[in-house]
Amino acid sequence: MAGEVDYLILAYRLSVLTFYLGALIYALPIPYQGLKRWAPRLLADGIGALVIVLVFEALFQLANTLAAMAGGSWELLESWAMGGIAEFLTIKAVAALLNVLPDPLGVLRGAQVVVKPLDRLATTALFFIAFIVGLAEIVKVYGRLLAAIGVALYAAPFRVARSAGAWLLSFILVFTAGLQALPVFATAIGGTPQPIGIGPIAEKGLALLKGNVSTMEGPADGVILVTDADTGEVYAVYLAENGTIMNDHGSTIVTIPSKPNLAYKLVYLNVTFYLEPYPVNKTDYKIVEGAWSIDLKTSYALTARNGIAVYTNGEILSASRNGGTVEGVIHLQQGQYVSVRYVDGCTIDIDPGGLQEVGESEWQWGDLHGQAIKYEAPDAGDYHFQVTADCPQLHISYDTKDYVNIAKKIAAYYDINVIQAFIAYWFTIPTIYIAILTSASLGVARLLGGRERFPLRVF
């Protein structure tokens, strides 16, 4: 496949051919004025095309220098575009969430009507930003090759493709310099719109999650921490009730970042369990009714609900629950343990199955207080552990955190100043800027000599 250098060599040879054709026409003993008029044109065209070939690299260095002087870069343009994509995907996520939430009383219908125009706006905006990103990708990745093709067309004898070559070359050079500075222009003219979700959402993405969490004996209660598997950053904090992940408003569809690998943690009675799979990547989710779905589980907790937690650092071979009684067979090495935590007010009966009690302690978790008993294995083996508990109804009070607060999003997007800023920043100003660059490309093409017109005639 021909590359940039091949087309520049072709352009060089065509420029030399054009020059010698001009010299040949000068030398021809044909007194035809129309033919003789081509001689100086071909000589000038050959020299002009040769000059462009020789300064080809300098032209791109100049374009990138101008972009840098304006404060632009390809990285800045990508960050700007990803910010817009994240923002408008958030709107579409809001619309999708309202469509998949159960609505037996019909109270969400009004919200769906309110968000629908924003959803359409977001779709249009995504296509528009995708157009700019695609244009930037063509200019950045294939620009030099297209410019070299443009020079080859420009150097063709008798100006048969001069206008096409001049326009292609000027388009690549102008947009190489100009597109990188688009975010600078947009910010300078329209200012930066109120950040409603750009920041971390632009970097981390957004998805809707329907999640379930369980211990070895069944559904779990507690608090779910959604964290970055690499950095440990906490993106969101949700509740788990009877094995279902939900936010503090009772919605069983929650928001999570879509790009990083995540680590889910269950916290119950001040004990933290890492949930499996670990870490979680995109392939671990299933798509159910427009949301990501996943079943999370800890293999180190016998139970974590109804005011009691039983956990171990051994291997739980089997587990079951019968009313208030939880039992399981646990394989332990010598010195490994099983620990029981329960809240104050519980009536509890423990059958350790041969394990030795090694200590008792107290724990505090928010406004909950309780006791902890630890048992160790005197020898390696399988132990049948059983706990029967009758605890008061437990209410978990914990500061939750939505990755994206849907209600605040809807309210923020319907602020008239936000709408005006968004339309100006993401539509009007970029459209004007692209028009300016297009006009500049035509001007540079005319400066290079692309002046021919090809009128369209139907009859």
263 strand-pairing partners? 227
Give the pLDDT band (50/70/90) at residue 310: very high
**Is pLDDT of 57 > 90?**
yes
Query: CA 181, CA 174: separation in Å to the nearest integer?
Result: 11
In angstroms, the CA 327 to CA 34 distance is 104
Q: Which of 101-110, 171-180, 323-332 has the highest mean pLDDT?
A: 171-180
Supply the pLDDT for residue 198. 43
Query: What residues pair up with 370 in beta bridges, in sequence order?
Result: 343, 363
Domain segments of the chain as ranges: 4-198+418-449, 204-300+402-408, 303-390
Give the bridge partners for 211, in sequence order.
Answer: 294
Say yes or no: do domains 204-300+402-408 and 303-390 share a fold.
Answer: yes
Q: Residue 127 and residue 213: Cα distance in Å, rounded? A: 37
Strands 271-274 and 286-288: unpaired
Residue 412: predicted pLDDT = 56
Q: How far apart are the first and last CA of the chain?
A: 41
Is residue 105's pLDDT more than 70?
A: no
pLDDT at 28 over 90: no
- Output the pLDDT for position 54: 93
Q: Residue 456 has what pLDDT?
A: 36
Give Cα 18 distance to the centre of its chain: 51
Pick the CATH number of 303-390 from 2.60.40, 1.10.760, 2.30.110, 1.10.357: 2.60.40
Average pLDDT, stretch 285-313? 88
Q: What is the largest distance, in Å, between two alpha-carbon atoms of the chain?
A: 119
Q: How many angstroms separate the CA atoms of 22 and 36, rounded?
A: 9
What does the pLDDT average to over 175-189? 92
Q: How many CB atoms lie within 10 A of CB 237?
A: 20
Could you tell me if 209 and 255 are in contact, meaning their C-beta atoms sit under 8 angstroms apart?
yes
| Res. 201 pLDDT band, cuts 50 70 90 | low
pLDDT of residue 421: 72
Rounded Cα–Cα distance for residues 366 and 369 (Å):
8
pLDDT at 90: 73
β-strand pairing of 291-297 with 207-214: parallel
The whole-angstrom separation of Cα 156 and Cα 142 is: 22
Please tell me the predicted confidence (pLDDT) of residue 131: 94
Query: Which class is domain 204-300+402-408?
Result: mainly beta
Mean pLDDT score of the chain: 84
Catalogue the E-assigned strands of 177-229.
Answer: 207-214, 222-228
CA distances, 57 to each of 71, 85, 148 (Å): 21, 34, 10
Count Cβ atoms below 10 Å from residue 25 Cβ, excluding itself: 19
